[in-house]
Amino acid sequence: MTDCYSFKIKMEKNRKQLKSKRYHFTVGLMCLFLLSADAYECPYTCRCYDSSVICVDSEEIKLPLKVPRMTQNLTLNRNNISVLSDRAFSANGTDMELLALSLEDNNIREIKSCAFCGLPRLLSLELSHNRLMAVDAGAFSGLGQLRNLYLSNTLMAPGASHLPRALSTASLCNLQTLDLSGNRLKTIPLSGFDNLSLTTLILTNNSFATLDTRDLSMLNEFSEISIYLSDNPFECKCDKLKEFNDWLNNSTQCKDADNLKCAQPKEKKDIYVLKVCRQQDLGSYVLLGIVLALIGVVFLMVLYLNRRGIKRWLNNIREACRDQMEVYHYRYEQDSDPRLANVAV
């Protein structure tokens, strides 16, 4: 626009010199052209800043959106975009410079293969609060630099079942943070962590009753991963919980282990998972102690009530012992008879 303005002034001088109406008309046309070129740079209904383009709450956003090629942050929240198709963010083969892309709350149902192709520098992808029903196996291909993927409150059951395949792509090799909170998950929707560089896995507010053997052994292999599990309905039957509980106690991976609470059975609701079975252990020791004490008391009472009989019995034993001792004494005297010793020699 400033270019256009100075151009206009320059032309104004020319106009004064030439005083030609026709020339004036041409200048106006050129300015209009330059202004519209500027408008093309910042899409209609969007706000554009240095390297950010923000388009929110608009029904008119159609992908692929024409944004300045140097845009680094693109925010497209609440625009009712239902499908992300092939190269949805770089229409004609040219790679974009985008570092962060936010597509929150768009009613996105489907991510097709190569939807994010052409964004080789993308670091952060926000897809929370959508309604993913279908995620193609190649949905995240081409995201070789991606560090953070946010999929919070966004997976419908079919979408969740597609996720292990989509996340096993080799192109997510730099992924560090994966947010899967609020998705009603019962198991970790990953077939492994080998292809990722995960350091943070957020699984809060899901439907985990426990972590099963497969999930635990998968996690044990990657001790650098920190995992968050609060706000899940854990099932606190101590025999079932043992493996998970041992892992919680031994591993430092679960960063919010102290906040995990039981949801079932009812009588253990809202008790902390780390305390529930320890309490039961303590309880059983106390019970054992009480039983032993009772047995002891009963024994003492029996002794007390039978004290006469016992006394008699003891006397009998003493008598018997004395008789026996006398027999021995007699034999000893016989054995030490000197006459018998001489016979032996």
Stretch that binds ligand NAG, among 12-20, 34-42, 129-137, 243-251 (CB under 6 A): 243-251
Binding of residue 249 to ligand NAG (CB under 6 A): yes
Residue 111, judged by CB atoms within 10 A of its CB (0-12, 13-18, 19+), counts as buried
Among positions 131-160, residues that touch ligand NAG (CB under 6 A) are 153
Among 3, 57, 59, 221, binds ligand NAG (CB under 6 A): 59
38 contributes a contact to ligand NAG by CB under 6 A: no
Counting residues that bind ligand NAG (by CB under 6 A) gives 15
Alpha-carbon separation of residue 186 from 205, 211, 235 (angstroms): 11, 8, 12
Please state, in angstroms and rounded to a whole number, the distance separating the CA atoms of residues 343 and 345: 5
Beta-bridge partner residues of 235: 264
Among 2, 9, 13, 250, binds ligand NAG (CB under 6 A): 250
45 near ligand NAG, rule: CB under 6 A: no
Nearer to ligand NAG, 71 or 169 (CB): 71
Between the alpha carbon of residue 3 and those of residues 9, 68, 125, 165, 312, the distances in Å are 10, 18, 36, 51, 125
Distances (CA, A) of 276 to 235, 236, 239, 328: 11, 7, 12, 66
CB of 128 to ligand NAG, least distance (A): 10
Q: How far apart are CA 192 and CA 165, in angstroms?
A: 10
- Determine the interface stretch with ligand NAG among 12-20, 87-95, 131-139, 263-271 (rule: CB under 6 A): 87-95
Residue 26 touching ligand NAG (CB under 6 A)? no
Local structure of residue 129 (DSSP, 8 states): S
Both tokens assigned to 93: 């083969």
- Specify whether the CB–CB gap between 188 and 160 falls below 8 A: no
How far is C-alpha 193 from the geometric centre of its chain's CA atoms?
A: 13
By CB under 6 A, residue 252 contacts ligand NAG: no
Q: Does 80 bind ligand NAG (CB under 6 A)?
A: yes
Q: Which is nearer to ligand NAG, 82 or 306 (CB)?
A: 82
Nearer to ligand NAG, 171 or 245 (CB): 245
Per DSSP, 153 falls in state T
Contact 116, 89 (CB under 8 A): yes
Which of 47, 62, 184, 329 is close enough to bind ligand NAG by CB under 6 A?
184
Please tell me whether residue 182 binds ligand NAG under the rule CB under 6 A: yes
169 part of the interface to ligand NAG, by CB under 6 A: no
Nearest CA among 209, 270, 278 for reference residue 244: 209
Coil, strand or helix at 232? coil
Interaction between residue 189 and ligand NAG (CB under 6 A): no
Residue 206 CB, nearest approach to ligand NAG (Å) = 7
Which residue in the block uniquely carries the two structure tokens 């109406």?
21
Shortest Cβ distance from residue 250 to ligand NAG (Å)?
4
Interacting residues toward ligand NAG by CB under 6 A = 59, 66, 80, 82, 91-92, 94, 107, 153, 182, 184, 205, 246, 249-250
